[in-house]
Amino acid sequence: MRKFMFFLLFLLVFLVGGAGAAEKEMKVGFIYVSPVGDAGWSYAHEQARLAVAAMPGVKTTYVEAVKEGPDSERVMLNMARKGYDLIFATSYGYMDPMLKVAKQFPKTVFMHCSGFKRAKNMGTYFGRIYQARYLSGIVAGSMTKSNILGYVAAFPIPEVIRGINAFTLGAQSVNPAVQVRVVWTKTWYDPATEKEAAKSLLDVGADVITQHQDSPAAQEAAEERGAYSIGYDSDMSRFAPKGHLTDPIWNWAPLYKKLVEEVRQGTWKSQSLWPGLAEGIVGLSPFGAVVPQEVRNRVSVAKNSIIAGKMKVFAGPIKDQKGTVRIAKGAAASDKELLGMTWFVKGVVGTTE
């Protein structure tokens, strides 16, 4: 009996191995750092994957919750070996593993989100979410009564620091007296820790809470205390129906569809892409009912001038926490400076460590 079972098993493995090779279609793989059901970062990418999957002649797959070490290298190798034509890796820590795999599979196209290393068959992309953060800062600065905004921050890396600074600048643009208090959780997704961090900010008088992590825990904490909240990644209004104001959100679908089409046509080239509000990659989710029309108008004006290129978020003069001018009057931060930003603007209470 047992021998028979083993035989069946081998037969099965053989059959599964033999199947496959049907008509040529474009295969696109995605690698996510967290589960897709998190309403956050990976969820936003997953929505775009579904849009790509709906394109004719395209087959997609994903592997979620992939750790950023050797595990990610194996998953990418696995996809490349299975003949995937285009692979998206959507976390910073996938950069070096992807570079290694890209060298081994020169015919596969690799796209890495948020990094800076490229190869002939490996490009990078990210979105200027800080522009949307600036807009959400305008909303927060207008709505606060205590003039204390709480920011539940993820990791002290440039991406997060840039977002905090942009949020603060947006709030200050409508309310110079405002201060932004920062608490680091050193998590991307840990609802319990993030909720506690949000509570500690509420305890020191913050009446608008926002966060960088991928869970809506901060929204829930704010809602329980009757405070306002601004989410991140995707529309998080269902987690805080009363106090929800808006969210800076990702909309990767147009970019992903464009890249898939480019690879299919053979026109793809390795570049470093950093689209923003103008390209529709980032934006704000619909406002909550509590946001008055006046505030909506302010946001809309700022949004239009950013899109038209008339206004830059990081335009001087901008001082750091110590009062030193970091970006001179009349100048604007270059992309290189933005990507390596490790200091807080004046008005942020907290350290970058």
Partner 1 sequence: MLAIKITKKQEFSIWNSCFLFLAALAVSLGISAVLLMMHGKSPLEGVGLLFKGAFGSPWAMEESLVKAIPIFLCSLGVATTFRLQIWNIGAEGQFALGAVGATWLALLYPDLPAFLLLPLMFLISLAAGGVWGFIPAVLKIRLRANEIIVTLMLNYIGILFLEYLVYGPWKDPVSFGFPMTTQFSAGAIVGTIGDTKINWGIVLCLAFGLFVWIMLRYSRVGYELKASGENVKAARYAGLPYDRLVLSVMIFSGALAGCAGFLEVSANLNRLQPSIIVGYGYTAIVVAWLARLNPLFIGVASFLLAGLKVGVENIQLELQVPAAFGGIMEGLILLTVLAGGFFTQYDIAIGRKG
Q: Which residues bind partner 1 (CB under 8 A)?
A: 2, 9, 12-13, 15-17, 29, 35, 37, 61-71, 74-75, 77-79, 81-82, 92-93, 96, 116, 155-158, 161, 186, 339-342, 353
Q: Which is nearer to partner 1, 82 or 103 (CB)?
A: 82
Q: Which is nearer to partner 1, 287 or 343 (CB)?
A: 343
- The least distance separating partner 1 from the CB of residue 76, rounded to whole angstroms, comes to 11
Direct distance between the N- and C-terminal alpha carbons of the chain, in angstroms, rounded to an integer? 63
CA distance 10 to 4: 10
Q: Which is nearer to partner 1, 108 or 237 (CB)?
A: 108
- The least distance separating partner 1 from the CB of residue 212, rounded to whole angstroms, comes to 14
Q: Which is nearer to partner 1, 154 or 291 (CB)?
A: 154
- The least distance separating partner 1 from the CB of residue 68, rounded to whole angstroms, comes to 4
- The least distance separating partner 1 from the CB of residue 340, rounded to whole angstroms, comes to 5
How many CA atoms lie less than 13 Å away from 78 in the CB half-sphere?
13
89, 31 Cβ separation under 8 angstroms: yes
Q: How many residues does this entry show for the chain?
A: 353
Q: Which is nearer to partner 1, 74 or 312 (CB)?
A: 74
Helix or strand (DSSP H, E) at 229:
strand 228-230
42, 32 Cβ separation under 8 angstroms: yes
- The least distance separating partner 1 from the CB of residue 224, rounded to whole angstroms, comes to 27
DSSP string, 191-211: HHHHHHHHHHHHHTT--EEEE
The closest of 145, 138, 134, 153 to 201, measured between CA atoms, is 153
